Amino acid sequence: MSVSLERAASEKGETMDSLEKQLICPICLEMFTKPVVILPCQHNLCRKCANDIFQASNPYLPTRGGSTVGSGGRFRCPSCRHEVVLDRHGVYGLQRNLLVENIIDMYKQETISTSSKVEPEQKPGVLMCEVHEDEKINIYCVTCSAPTCSLCKVFGAHQHCEVAPLNTVYDSQKLEMSESVAMLVGNNDRIQAIITLLEESCRTVEENGRRQKSHVCESFDHLYALLEERKGELTLKISSEQQEKLDYIKGLQRRYTEHLDKSAKLVETGIQTMEEPEMAVFLQTAKPLLQKISESRNTSHLEKLERGYENMDHFTANFQPERRAILKIDFIKGITV
């Protein structure tokens, strides 16, 4: 029976420890202090801690009575980094978590009830002085920045040091720690905002670079199109004169070929005539044939191709000025944003 009770008590203690961890504020690291506010992300904070974070994240907003006033602001949840946007009421516009507050009250009552049943010698977590083993650590040496006991102050190493009550220094440093954590959270929010701006700047630079590259490529495409158009015009001029000259030369070639064919036939006819054995027949055909041969030998009526007619060097283009102009293409200087 006693074993079952001990096991039940142990399980209850573990449950209470687990519950206590759920009731710890992530800023002050203490159990939530009422009023407890719930953030839109469903995490909880002491209202005072929420206000400390809010002030640290919005240092330029006016304050009154330790609370930030004005037209709202924002901060990030210390647990999940979710951004919390506040209205003009500031942290006082956040909803109170009455359920958590009630759980805290019940937890404290249960803790008091449980602690009253525990024997005094079972109290854990009491630090004893290393020099005076029977003395509890109950004061704080301000000079040495170390907890100590009363005997160390009266008779020991800290008798010439400045000391203060342990709870006073504890409360002071706990408050300092809470404020420092809140300020660090606020500073982290500002750093996160800077990181967000830098990320946006990266995206802007990438977009601007893509846009300017597109503009440059588009301008060069237009220039290519203009060059292609001009190339077509110039090559058309060359082709036109080329065809004109070819037609003329081929016409001459055709007339000379026709004349040669006629002359070849006259040669053949002359050879046949010279082979005629009858003198009367020969004389009858010789004179007209000699007239035709004489006319065929005369080529004055055929046009001659002028010297250098086939030359087309006058179509040589000078691209040096244009090449230099292209190499000088650059971005407009002096344009700043």
- The CATH number assigned to the domain holding 31 equals 3.30.40.10
Which runs of consecutive H residues, i.e. helices, occur in 91-165?
A: 98-116, 150-154
Work out the average pLDDT over 295-306: 85
Residue whose pair of structure tokens reads 């803790």 in the numeric block: 111
Task: Choose among 296, 274, 295: nearest CA to 285.
Answer: 274
Task: Choose among 71, 41, 37: nearest CA to 52.
Answer: 37
Q: At 4, is the pLDDT very low, low, confident or very high (cuts 50, 70, 90)?
A: very low
**Distance in angstroms (rounded) separating the CA atoms of residues 333 and 213:** 17
Which helix (H) or strand (E) segment is 63 a member of? Answer: strand 63-64
Q: At 66, is the pLDDT very low, low, confident or very high (cuts 50, 70, 90)?
A: low
Asked, for residue 247, whether it belongs to a domain, the answer is yes
Give the total number of structural domains in the chain.
2
Work out the average pLDDT over 34-57: 88
Asked, for residue 301, whether it belongs to a domain, the answer is yes
What is 291-330 written as a DSSP string? Answer: HHHHHHH--TTSPPPPTTTT--GGG----HHHHHHHHT--
Dihedrals φ, ψ of 315, to 5°?
A: -90, 10
Answer with the one of 62, 90, 122 that is the final residue of a domain: 122
Asked, for residue 117, whether it belongs to a domain, the answer is yes
Which helix (H) or strand (E) segment is 45 a member of? Answer: strand 44-46
Written as six digits, the tokens of 105 are 């009250």
Is the pLDDT at 1 greater than 50? The verdict is: no
Written as six digits, the tokens of 256 are 């000379």
pLDDT recorded at residue 29: 80
% of residues, the chain, pLDDT over 90: 32
Asked, for residue 200, whether it belongs to a domain, the answer is no
Asked, for residue 165, whether it belongs to a domain, the answer is no
Answer with the one of 122, 150, 168 that is the final residue of a domain: 122
3-state DSSP assignment of residue 168: helix
Asked, for residue 183, whether it belongs to a domain, the answer is no
Find the domain containing 261 and state its range.
221-327
Q: What is the DSSP letter of 330?
A: -
* Residue 25, amino acid: C
Question: Across the chain, what does the average pLDDT equal?
Answer: 84
Work out the average pLDDT over 303-327: 91
Residue 210 pairs in a beta bridge with none
Residue 292: how many CA atoms within 13 Å on its side-chain side? 15
Answer with the one of 122, 138, 170 that is the final residue of a domain: 122
Asked if 135 contacts 150 with a C-beta cutoff of 8 angstroms, the reply is yes
Q: What is the DSSP letter of 283?
A: H
By DSSP bridging, strand 63-64 and strand 67-68 are antiparallel
Residue 70 φ/ψ region, left for φ over 0, alpha for ψ in the -120 to 50 degree band, beta for the rest: left
Quote the strand ranges of 132-240, DSSP E: 139-141, 146-148, 163-165
Asked, for residue 322, whether it belongs to a domain, the answer is yes
Asked if 50 contacts 91 with a C-beta cutoff of 8 angstroms, the reply is yes
- Distance set, CA 44 to CA 13, 24, 28 (Å): 24, 9, 12
| pLDDT tens, position by position, 228-270 | 999 999 999 999 999 999 999 999 999 999 999 999 998 998 9
Asked, for residue 156, whether it belongs to a domain, the answer is no
pLDDT recorded at residue 313: 92
pLDDT recorded at residue 2: 45
